[in-house]
């Protein structure tokens, strides 16, 4: 089992979130996500960098009660009605803005809430929805190094009771999905994911260089699902830590479900390994 981290330095995690259906299903990936809530004492708040808030600026949510965003289609009504009623924390938004200034524009309450890259993961890790959650956008106009450097700036949050989570996928190419391979991977997907693992588990400060890998643009034809990992890699590098694999695997040929965590002292609980793989993709673009 994973054991709690030292309270003075909260863990950080990157979660390969896959299909929105993972929010309401139990499988070996969601079982691993459930361990995230037990890695430390209850955090003061959670900051999430989700692939699904990919816009032309660096912004942070400020709503006291952020809405649950259902940013997908083609899924059961149960998922469309799903609510994750975690509170927000405007005070944390201000802290984040101060840390990464001048690279921040505070976003208004009504502009964004919690997208499925956030709540599909947190509903497993923190099912009571009783920890305040703030989201940080991904600036689509900036290069990879910018995102890693912002992660370095966010490191201070770990000493103030904030759990930081990146949510995306190391490999995410929906145009190449093979519905006949629910647990399979193309050779290029496997090659890139294995390089990602090698990089962030040895030298996370160099992770921005992964965009120069020969298979990067196959693995991430649009980079928004890859970039959240760079925030977590930057935080790990600033703390002179590496990352460890929390759970690994592939789905539908062109998606990797790899998740990473810092300061873990164990592996996926054995019962998780007997559960099925990732949930159906449906018609999602997520």
DSSP 153-183: HHGGGGGTTEEEEEEE-SEE-GGG--TT-TT
Angle at 277 between CA 272 and CA 281, to 5 degrees: 140
Task: Calculate mean pLDDT across residues 76-81.
Answer: 82
What integer pLDDT is reported at residue 41 of this predicted model? 85
Cα-only R_g, the chain: 17
Give tens-digit pLDDT for 134-179. 999 999 999 999 999 999 999 999 999 999 999 999 999 999 999 9
In terms of Cα–Cα distance, which of 52, 56, 237 is closest to 135? 52
Rounded CA separation 32/118 (Å): 15
Distance CA 185, CA 249 (A): 9
Q: Which positions ≥6 away from 234 have C-beta within 8 Å?
A: 147, 148, 149, 150, 151, 152, 153, 154, 155, 204, 205, 207
Decide: helix, strand or coil at residue 10: coil
β-bridge partners, 48? 135, 165
pLDDT value, residue 6: 44
Q: What percent of the chain has pLDDT over 90?
A: 75
pLDDT at 33 over 80: yes
pLDDT (tens digit, 9 = 90+) per residue, 39-72? 888 999 999 999 999 999 999 999 999 999 998 7
What's residue 104's pLDDT? 84
The whole-number pLDDT of residue 1 equals: 41
Contact 242, 201 (CB under 8 A): yes
Instruction: Name residues whose C-beta falls within 8 Å of residue 96's C-beta, 6 or more positions apart in sequence.
Output: 47, 60, 104, 134, 136, 154, 157
Q: Mean pLDDT over residues 77-88, rounded?
A: 90
Q: Are 207 and 159 in contact (CB under 8 A)?
A: no
Q: Which residues pair with 105 in a beta bridge?
A: 59
The CATH number, out of the four listed (3.40.830.10, 3.40.50.261, 2.30.140.10, 3.40.470.10), of the domain defined by the range 12-274: 3.40.830.10
If one counts every other C-beta atom within 10 angstroms of the C-beta of residue 81, the result is: 9
Say whether pLDDT at 15 is over 80.
yes
Q: What pLDDT is recorded for position 83?
A: 93
| Residue 224 DSSP code | G
Can you tell me the mean pLDDT for 122-129? 96
Residue whose structure tokens are 């890695």: 39
* pLDDT score recorded for residue 81: 86
The domain limits of the chain are 12-274
Please report the pLDDT score of residue 267 as a whole number: 44
- Band (263; pLDDT cuts 50, 70, 90): low
- List, for residues 177-208, the tens digit of each pLDDT value: 999 999 999 999 999 999 999 999 999 999 99
Smallest CA-to-CA distance from 122 within 97, 93, 85, 158 is with: 85
- Band (pLDDT 50/70/90 cuts) for residue 109 is low
pLDDT tier, 103 (very low <50, low <70, confident <90, very high otherwise): confident
pLDDT at 111: 78
Cα–Cα distances (Å) from 131 to 166, 213, 235, 249, in that order, read 17, 38, 21, 29
pLDDT of residue 5: 46
Helices (H) and strands (E) in the chain, counts: 8, 11
Mean pLDDT of the chain: 89
Mean per-residue pLDDT, 210-218: 98
Q: How confident is the model at residue 3 (pLDDT cuts 50, 70, 90)?
A: very low
Above 50 in pLDDT, residue 20?
yes
Query: Could you give the angle at the alpha carbon of 197 between the alpha carbons of 191 and 161, nearest 5°?
Result: 150
pTM listed for this prediction: 0.92
- Pairing of the two strands 259-261 and 12-16: antiparallel
């Amino acid at each position: 089992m994973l054991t709690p981290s030292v309270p003075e330095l909260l863990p950080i995690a990157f979660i390969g979130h896959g299909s929105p259906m993972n929010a309401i299903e139990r499988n070996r990936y969601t079982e691993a996500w459930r361990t995230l809530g037990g890695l430390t004492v209850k955090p003061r708040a959670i900051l999430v960098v989700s692939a699904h808030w990919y816009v032309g600026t660096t912004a942070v949510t400020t709503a006291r009660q952020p809405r649950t965003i259902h940013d997908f289609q083609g899924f059961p009504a149960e998922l469309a009605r799903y609510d994750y009623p975690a509170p927000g924390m405007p005070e944390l938004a201000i802290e984040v803005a101060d840390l990464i200034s001048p690279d921040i524009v505070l976003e208004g309450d009504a502009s964004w809430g919690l997208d499925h890259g956030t709540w599909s993961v947190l509903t497993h890790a923190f099912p009571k929805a009783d920890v305040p959650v703030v989201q940080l956008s991904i600036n689509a106009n900036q290069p990879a190094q910018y995102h890693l450097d912002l992660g370095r700036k966010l490191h201070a949050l770990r000493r103030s009771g904030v759990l930081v989570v990146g949510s995306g996928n190391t490999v995410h190419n929906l145009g190449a999905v093979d519905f006949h391979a629910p647990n399979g991977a193309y050779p290029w997907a496997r090659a890139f994911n294995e390089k990602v693992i090698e990089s962030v588990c040895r030298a996370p400060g160099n992770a921005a260089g992964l965009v120069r890998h020969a298979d990067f643009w196959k693995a991430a034809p649009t980079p928004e699902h890859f970039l959240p990992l760079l925030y977590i890699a930057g935080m790990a590098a600033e703390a002179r830590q590496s990352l460890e694999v929390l759970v690994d695997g592939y789905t539908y040929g062109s998606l990797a479900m790899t998740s990473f965590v810092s300061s873990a002292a164990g592996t996926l609980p054995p019962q998780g390994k007997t559960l099925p793989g990732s949930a159906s993709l449906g018609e999602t673009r997520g």
